[in-house]
């Protein structure tokens, strides 16, 4: 239990560091920089264990978003979006089951019975919702077609690829 909590703390700080040192420094000052705004925190919320109680899931997502807000001076945007994702993702992952042979401490989303395609749709859908909300609130809805939509599509795809990559690096499915 404590070990897995520590693991999630480590994951959170890894995400903050990747966001701060890598993602926020690429394309700064560039004309096309606005297309590149992936927010990795959504990965943290999506990877929380599905055996968590719904209320705890919402609370932890809110706290993660809030901490992210503190780090990146975006007061409340990440918190609002993370809480919504935490609330809705429960309905997607509550009936998840581990593949036979997976250990209890494995990440259930990683070792779920539903397979790759389900996992990809799960990540892509929620990443898209998250980025749409984030960009919409952040820009107050200005420049919807010229700036927000292209930025939304690009950032979602980039974040999706990054999440898959990072996940493959971090979670090795350990089986007996």
Partner 1 sequence: MNSIFKYLKSKLHVLLFLLLEILSIISIIRFNTYQTAFYYSNTRKLSLSLHEANSSIFDYFGLYTKNQALYNENIDLRRKLRSNYVVESKKIFEINDTVYKQRYKYFPAQVITNSTNRQNNFITINRGKSSGIEKGMGVFCPEGVVGTIVEVSDNYSIAVSVLNTEGFKVVPKIKELNDTKGTVNWNGKDPNYLNLENINKYEPLKVGYHIVTSPYSKNFPENVPIGVIESLKSRTTETFYDIKVKSSVNFGKIQTVYIVIDLFKDEIEKLEAELNKKNLNVK
Instruction: Find out whether 44 and 12 touch, Cβ atoms under 8 Å.
Output: yes
Closer residue to partner 1, CB minimum distance, 9 or 75: 75
CA-based radius of gyration for the chain: 16
Q: How far apart are CA 98 and CA 103, in angstroms?
A: 8
The least CB distance from residue 34 to partner 1, in Å, is 5
Q: How far is the CB of 98 from partner 1 (least distance, A)?
A: 23
CB-based contact 45:67 (threshold 8 Å): no
b/e per residue 92-109 (b: at least 16 CB within 10 A): bbeebebeeebeeebbbb
Q: Which residue from 45, 58, 64, 102 is in contact with partner 1, where contact means CB under 8 A? A: 58
CB of 133 closer than 8 Å to CB of 116: no
Using the rule CB under 8 A, give the single segment among 19-27, 95-103, 111-119, 121-129 that binds partner 1: 19-27
For partner 1, the binding residue among 1, 2, 3, 29 (CB under 8 A) is 29
Query: What would the x/- binding string for partner 1 be over residues 59 to 88, using CB under 8 A?
Result: x--x--xx--xxxxxxxxx-xx--xx-xx-
Q: Which DSSP helix (H) or strand (E) runs through 98? A: none
Q: Find residue 98's DSSP bridge partners.
A: 112
- Contact between 126 and partner 1 per CB under 8 A: no
By CB under 8 A, tell whether 16 contacts partner 1.
yes
Give the binding site for partner 1 (CB under 8 A): 16-17, 20-21, 24-25, 27-31, 33-34, 36-37, 53-55, 58-59, 62, 65-66, 69-77, 79-80, 83-84, 86-87, 90, 137-140, 142-143, 146-147
């Amino acid at each position: 239990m404590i070990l897995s909590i520590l693991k999630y703390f480590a994951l959170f700080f890894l995400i903050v560091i990747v966001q701060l040192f890598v993602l926020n420094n690429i394309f700064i000052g560039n004309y096309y920089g606005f297309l590149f705004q992936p927010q990795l925190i959504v990965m943290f919320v999506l990877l929380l264990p599905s055996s968590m109680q719904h209320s705890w899931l919402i609370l932890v997502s809110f706290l993660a978003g809030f901490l992210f807000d503190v780090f990146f001076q975006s007061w409340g945007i990440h918190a609002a979006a993370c809480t919504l994702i935490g609330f809705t993702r429960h309905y997607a992952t509550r009936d998840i089951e581990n593949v036979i042979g997976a250990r209890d401490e494995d990440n259930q989303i990683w070792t779920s019975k539903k397979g790759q395609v389900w996992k990809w749709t799960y990540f892509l859908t929620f990443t898209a919702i998250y980025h749409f909300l984030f960009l919409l609130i952040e820009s107050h809805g200005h420049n919807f077609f010229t700036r927000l939509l292209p930025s939304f599509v690009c950032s979602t795809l980039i974040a999706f690829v990054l999440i898959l990559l990072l996940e493959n690096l971090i979670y090795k499915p350990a089986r007996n």
